[in-house]
Amino acid sequence: MKALLEILEPGNREWELACSLDPARMPAHVAVIMDGNGRWARRRNLPRVAGHRAGVEPVRVAVETCARLGLQSLTLYAFSKENWKRPKSEVDTLWRLLTYYLSREVPRLMANNIRMRVIGHTEALPVKVRQELCEAIQITSSNTGMILNLAINYGGRTEIVDAVNRLISEAREEGTLDNLVVDEEAIESKLDTAGQLEPDLLIRTSGEMRISNFLLWQIAYAELYVTEICWPDFDRTCLLEAIAAYQKRDRRFGGLRPAQASPATEAEAVSAPIR
Ligand code: FPP
């Protein structure tokens, strides 16, 4: 928190929002579906790719803000498995923007002690993009602060299927296939995000009420926050508002708050005959 206040101007809305956050209720992991770039551009009579271009700065701001807030992980949905259905020119622009981002941002990732990772099937990406990603992952690998997961050519169902297949092939190699136990812990240990906490907060921009095959396993108990704001307009204030809204949520994980369970009346009701 202190690290964030250092880069904010006292008195403005960002500052006030940051000061209003409760450090004890900060999400450990935030995941973001960065949506609405195309619509943002169309509303301005610009080509769709202009929306993607305008989406790079909010990525930079979100990454730095989350790191300075002390989050453990930030996962950004940059390219889904389904995004290959878009025109080649748009897909190529997304790769160019990603390499541009990496070339410019790695020093800032280092300055903020951020470790970058990629989740998804990178083998299908253009060689140059793969090289830039590998380099950024390698350069930031010994950082000890926030983990930035870029979800690229990612699909949640594929990730789960991959995890199960990894369990099977490892057991086969070890000759333990007959005794293989596939439980939640085993699957979690083979997910791309293994070792990280699950997202507490999932943000989706541009108002769509969909999960879009993102982190299907990991968001089981995430709080959902959907804003009408399109990604290119999602600034630091929007991010801090999302976290402030998260801090007001009542997370019960399927249980009850202590105040909700009033022992006397509950005991009476439980012992009453069921009609
Ligand atoms: C969804 O908007 C956005 C994407 C498919 C790409 C996200 C890419 C960026 C934010 C730019 C660069 C990324 C990094 C990591 C540097 P959409 O095109 O589906 O919008 P629409 O629903 O309005 O068409």
What's the 171 CA to ligand 1 centre distance in angstroms? 39
What's the 34 CA to ligand 1 centre distance in angstroms? 6
pLDDT along the chain (275 residues), means of 10: 93 96 97 98 98 98 98 98 97 98 96 98 97 98 98 98 98 97 98 98 98 98 98 98 97 80 71 80
CATH topology assigned to domain 25-271: Undecaprenyl pyrophosphate synthetase (3.40.1180)
Task: Please give the angle made by the CA atoms of 198, 225 and 185, to the nearest 5 degrees.
Answer: 15
- Ligand 1 site residues (CB inside 6 A) read 34-39, 52, 55-56, 59, 76, 78, 83, 94, 97-98, 101, 150, 206, 231
Q: Give the active site residues.
A: 35, 83
Residue nearest to atom 1 of ligand 1 (CA): 35
What's the 37 CA to ligand 1 centre distance in angstroms? 5
pLDDT at residue 261 in the model: 62
- Residue 249, both tokens: 């949520």
In whole angstroms, give the CA distance from residue 239 to residue 203. 9
**Dihedral class, residue 52 (left if φ above 0, else alpha if ψ from -120 to 50, else beta):** alpha
